[in-house]
Amino acid sequence: MRLSMTSDLWWKNAVVYCLDIETFADGNGDGIGDFRGAIQRIDHLDRMGVTCIWLMPFFPTPDKDDGYDITDFYNVDPRLGTLGDFVEFMRVARDRGIRVIADLVVNHTSDQHPWFKEARSSRDSRYRDWYIWSDKPEPDDPKGVVFPDKEDSLWEYDEKTEQYYYHRFYRFQPDLNTANPEVQDEISRILGFWMELGLSGFRVDAVPFLIEQVTDSGDDLPDPHEFFACLRAFLSRRDGSAILLGEVNLPYPDLVKYFGNDLGDELTMCFDFISMQRTYLSLAREDARPLAAALRERPSPPRDSQWATFMRNHDELTLDKLSDSEREEIFAAFGPDKDMQVFGRGLRRRLPTMLGGDLERIKMVYSLLFSLPGTPVLFYGEEIGMGENLEIEGRLAVRTPMQWTPHRNGGFSDADPAKVSIPMPKGDFGPEKVNVSAQERDPDSLLAWITRLIRHYRDCPEFAWGKYTVLDTGVDAVFAHRAACDGETVVAVHNLGDAETEVALTLEGFDSSKVLTDLLVDGRIEIDDSGRVGFPMGRYGCRWFRASAPETAPADSADPS
């Protein structure tokens, strides 16, 4: 594919890296990560090949929900730096050719936000209708309580004004009334402000909850899709290349509506929660069929839209779109202890610990991630195989400080360890054994492997841009697919099982005039005249092939002379 084509829609084959400023690097020695520390670590991301940084919330906050309870959408939390530090971070990232997006958390505010303080001061407050109020708590659907370990209702009584306010999440996070045109205008101003400071877009938090019917007032709410279309139009007017990446954990038929159906005029990208959950079911069973079925079912996004693929994010590993029995299979395989589970629907573990530290298997899973149709998203620390700390409550178990070195505080901070408020994992996944410094020197490390995968992923835009087909392999444990675009074809094959096997594929449209060249290791495989090709797959093996004529095939590393 021509770079002049792929660079226009940069996000279609980007490599997105999610990081939390608070836990990434401490630049002033107070035990808390900050923008100055993150600036000094951007070259790590540049060397890996990351093309887009996604920043978790860095705004002023009481920090009751790890920064998602915001008191000021137009500033930086003083613990993390200043607006000047943010701008310098943006400048350094831009100098390395890395774009930056940030969380857009406008479903709710903190109850300490000046808007809410004013709103609850009087029923006549000008900000009263910026939130959702009712004289009585509306009937709750127990399934609608997002955090059942902390909340048992979606309504909280306000004694001063003698009404209930709505909160989809925690009671200290009152929901904004995003149906209010004034609130919608304010959201646009928030986008515009940060775009002027250099952001290339936003990851939109809790998309399905942004506009929802929660009272029986009879008022007709605006169409949420009209809201997102207006938001996207505003974004595009300010910067035609900026994106909205949506957290939309819904079944595919409901999810695709947030792309704007065939128009593609709402969210630019959506996370593929369905394929992620089916991937873990396939890993637990060592059977590729659940993942293959998900990708066969997955609808194609509009032409200028994209799926975002991931293996882990900053929340619990949600398994809510699986059946109870399927979820129990994954719990049994990867989180059998109750302490490893959360909310009855997910796991609070990172991938390497779930896989028992099996490096071959871990490498295979990330090879799978980077070859799946879509744009891969990494959570900080995945590149070195960080583990979780189950001593930390809830979802925060996976949000431990980045492990840079084997030394004090894992190189995250030079503060007295007592000042580092978030403890790191210990044992086999502690910084003494898992850190960037050691893996940079090891050509067989996970960091070296992911850096290699990123390079090959960027060399194979067909995975992101092409039309994909799930292939029959004849082996239940083996997943294979091909992606084609502009006359070019790549094929990826992954063995999810721990036994060696032989794989036979039929590649329609190919004959003996083409060969398959392995992109991850040296080697070339012949295709017969019927398009059939066979080859061995090792335990948790992975192979990426490019189909081409022999005279144009990529060269082996050995000198042909």
Q: For helices 224-238 and 181-196, give the axis angle rounded to 10 degrees.
A: 30
**Residues whose CB falls within 8 Å of the CB of residue 406, separated by 6 or more in sequence, listed in order:** 431, 432, 433, 435, 437, 438
Contact 397, 388 (CB under 8 A): yes
Q: Is 9 helix (H, G, I), strand (E, B) or coil?
A: coil
Contact 233, 268 (CB under 8 A): no
- The active-site residue, picked from 66, 85, 247, 388, is 247
**Residues whose CB falls within 8 Å of the CB of residue 75, separated by 6 or more in sequence, listed in order:** 59, 60, 83
Q: What is the spatial distance between Cα 430 and Cα 283, in angstroms, rounded to a whole number?
A: 25
Active site residue 304: no
**Residues whose CB falls within 8 Å of the CB of residue 552, separated by 6 or more in sequence, listed in order:** none
CB atoms within 10 A of CB 281: 22
Contact 397, 346 (CB under 8 A): no
Structure tokens at 95: 């100098």
Q: What is the spatial distance between Cα 298 and Cα 267, in angstroms, rounded to a whole number?
A: 17
- The active-site residue, picked from 26, 205, 382, 383, is 205
Q: What are phi and psi of 232, to 5 degrees?
A: -65, -40
- If 0-12 CB within 10 Å is exposed, 13-18 middle and 19+ buried, where does residue 178 land? buried
State the DSSP H helix or E strand holding residue 182, giving kind and residue range, or none if neither: helix 181-196
Q: What is the spatial distance between Cα 347 and Cα 150, in angstroms, rounded to a whole number?
A: 17
Q: Which residues pair with 347 in a beta bridge?
A: 317, 341
State the DSSP H helix or E strand holding residue 157, giving kind and residue range, or none if neither: strand 155-158
Active site residue 151: no
CB atoms within 10 A of CB 167: 22
Match 């290349």 to its residue by tokens.
241
CA distances (Å), 410 to each of 206, 251, 401, in order? 33, 40, 8
How many H-runs (helices) and E-runs (strands) does the chain carry?
A: 17, 22
- β pairing state of 16-19 and 515-518: unpaired
**What amino acid positions are annotated as catalytic residues?**
205, 247
